[in-house]
A and B are shown apart, each in its own frame.
Chain A
């Protein structure tokens, strides 16, 4: 079975994979929310949450390496919080001068920065586990259960269905462009053309992609109409959630609430 290089879903037979997608989504968001509400510097609780998400990763059979590798890709944004080390006042750690400015790094700033980074990293892992253990059609079920309007869910479905097709088309456009991007032997020839030319060529590629998308949407519409589509979005009713799944939901939420409550008690 051909899995597109973009699709993060890894089918496995784990308990996490078999968990109802609605429950998984709620638990993932609850985990992220718990993270967000934990106070800065509550290290023991960060470790607890890390242990929790690690256990889930192990149960899900996805492999910690896979999840950790993917989560490292979210790191760059931490640069945004880096200045906190130097702007939050507190016990000075070290200082240096840049031009006329004296810059001091503070302990509190560092603590704040590291807290944000860890919390963010833990949250990303929860999102990765969710995406890797839940097929997209199942995620659509989860969305519908959260009262996302059916119209939007249908658009999501179509978008996902043709995302890979169009990404492949875009890849072919890029490949065609690089196949024609050669160097001349003529002395003094400037490779690459001007910046604005390159931008316009790329714009043309984007335009071409969009045009094909328009025309494809016409064909899809014809196919839909041929099967009775009348513009109204319809869907089958959602299946019932199994009782055992509710248990997992309650247990998971209970655990998170307990962690949070304890943390706020001790640190708040």
Chain B
């Protein structure tokens, strides 16, 4: 059976000796929308960085049926679209067009195809008119959407987002939530925004001190006040 994401017994220790992940096992099916929650320092970001091969620990990590090893990294990164927390460092090209074209360009696609992908991706985030704009002039909400477009243009199977609603005002947040609901991709989101989780993500994984402590339906887990409190989470 094809899993979008498959992790088995993943362990990771930082160079300075801190153990970040302990025996993490989980799998995500195509089309699923899963939220990864837990207190700061739980290892959420560390776990996510394994999914496109930026970090590499002990254990099996497979995305889109590809093992995340050196030979596969190119294809892995085409399949997994990673959106980082700070869009400032993700929009590094002079114009929005250049940033969204970066991915397809590196995939080696022909010129015409690159242009099509850019238009398609910007259309999906409803920002087609922003093509010629200069990145550093945009607002935080606009930057976040463009950052999503920069990975959508690679036609990934999976979308991974780190704190997508962080730093957004209520209106931008609402608009981003709409966007995430519209996108049909498999989605894994690392977040503190419990209201976001309850609204869009039917499945929730709780990570604490590098271990998976719970993995199940969001609504069920959220009813367990004790569980939430034990792991530094609040019921929305």
Q: Which residues of A contact B (CB under 8 A)?
A: 1-4, 135-137, 140, 157-158, 160-162, 164-165, 216, 219-220, 222-230, 234-237
B15 to chain A, nearest CB (A): 14
Residues of A within 8 Å of B157, CB to CB, are none
C-alpha spacing A228/B76, complex, angstroms: 9
**Selected contact of A158 from candidates B92, B103, B134, CB within 8 Å:** B92
Q: Which of B74, B106, B154 has the most CB of A within 10 A?
A: B106
Does the CB pair B101–A228 fall under 8 Å? no
Taken together as a complex, chains A and B put the C-alpha atoms of A235 and B93 apart, in Å, by: 11
Which B residues, 95 to 147, have Cβ-Cβ distances below 8 Å to chain A? 95, 98, 101-103, 105-107, 111, 114, 134-137
Interface of B is mostly: helix
User: A151 CB to closest chain B CB, in angstroms?
Assistant: 15
Question: Whole-angstrom distance from the CB of B164 to the nearest CB of chain A?
Answer: 15
Which residues of A sit under 8 angstroms from B84, Cβ to Cβ? 219, 222-223, 226
Tell me the smallest distance from the CB of B33 to a CB of chain A, in Å. Answer: 20
B92 touches A2 (CB 8 A): no
Q: With both chains docked as a complex, state the minimum distance between the C-beta of A150 and any C-beta of chain B, in angstroms.
A: 12
Provided the pairs A164-B136, A165-B88, A230-B74 are in contact, do residues A225 and B94 lie with their beta carbons within 8 angstroms?
no
Check if B78 is an interface residue, CB within 8 A of chain A. Answer: yes
Known: A161-B92, A165-B88. A227 touches B136 (CB 8 A): no
- Shortest Cβ distance from B114 into A: residue: A236
B86 contacts the other chain (Cβ, under 8 Å)? Answer: yes
30 examples of A-B residue contacts, CB within 8 angstroms = A4-B136, A135-B134, A136-B134, A137-B94, A157-B98, A161-B91, A161-B92, A161-B94, A162-B92, A164-B136, A165-B136, A219-B86, A220-B89, A220-B92, A222-B84, A223-B84, A226-B52, A226-B77, A226-B82, A227-B77, A227-B102, A227-B103, A227-B154, A228-B106, A229-B102, A230-B106, A236-B101, A236-B105, A236-B111, A237-B111
Is residue B213 contacting chain A, with contact meaning CB distance below 8 A?
no
Which residues of A have CB within 8 Å of B95?
Answer: 137
A157 to B107, CA, bound (A): 21
Q: Are B137 and A228 in touch, CB under 8 angstroms?
A: no
* Residue among A3, A140, A219, A237 with most chain B CB within 10 A: A219
Asked whether B168 is an interface residue with its Cβ less than 8 Å from the other chain, the reply is: no
Closest residue of chain A to B87, judged by CB? Answer: A223
By beta carbon, the residue of chain B nearest A235 is B105
Does B92 lie within 8 Å of A223, measured CB to CB? Answer: yes
Instruction: Name A's interface SS.
Output: helix
Please name the residue on chain A nearest to B136 by beta carbon: A164
Q: B106, A229: Cβ atoms under 8 Å?
A: yes
User: Is B46's CB within 8 Å of the partner chain A?
Assistant: no
A136 to B93, CA, bound (A): 11
- CB-defined contacts of A165 to chain B, threshold 8 Å: 88, 136
Of the listed residues A135, A160, A223, A226, the one surrounded by the most CB atoms of chain B closer than 10 A to its CB is A226
Q: B199-221: contact bitstring with A at CB < 8 Å (1 yes, 0 no)?
A: 00000000000000000000000
The answer to whether B102 and A161 have CB atoms under 8 Å apart is: no
Q: Pick the contact of A227 from B88, B94, B135, B151 — CB < 8 Å?
A: B151
Given A165-B88, A219-B84, answer yes or no on A225-B54 (Cβ-Cβ < 8 Å): yes
B93 A161 Cβ-Cβ under 8 A? yes
CB distance from A157 to the nearest CB of B (A): 5
Q: Kindly report which residue of chain B lies nearest to residue A168, judged by CB atoms.
A: B136
Q: Which residue of B lies closest to A4 (CB)?
A: B136
Contact with A along B49-86 (1 / 0, CB 8 A): 10010100000000000000000001001100010101
A81 to chain B, nearest CB (A): 37
Q: How far is the CA of A164 from the CA of B134 in the complex (A)?
A: 12
On whether the beta carbons of B92 and A224 are closer than 8 Å, the reply is yes
Asked if B90 is at the interface of the complex by the 8 Å CB criterion, the answer is yes
A225 to B54, CA, bound (A): 8
Residues of B within 8 A of A230 (CB): 74, 106
A8 shortest CB reach to chain B, Å:
14
B89 with A225: CB separation less than 8 A: no
Interface residue? B150 (CB, 8 A): yes
Cα A134 to Cα B93 with chains together (Å): 17
In the bound complex, CA of A2 to CA of B143 (Å): 14
Q: Which residue of B lies closest to A154 (CB)?
A: B93
Which chain B residue shows the least CB distance to A158?
B92
**Could you tell me the distance between the alpha carbons of A2 and B54 in the complex, rounded to whole angstroms?**
35
Assess A3 versus B74: contact at CB under 8 Å? Given A157-B94, A235-B105. Answer: no
B111 neighbours in A (Cβ, 8 Å): 236-237
Q: Nearest-CB distance from A132 to chain B (Å)?
A: 15
9 closest pairs, A vs B, by CB?
A: A228-B106, A219-B89, A137-B94, A226-B82, A227-B103, A223-B90, A157-B94, A220-B89, A220-B92
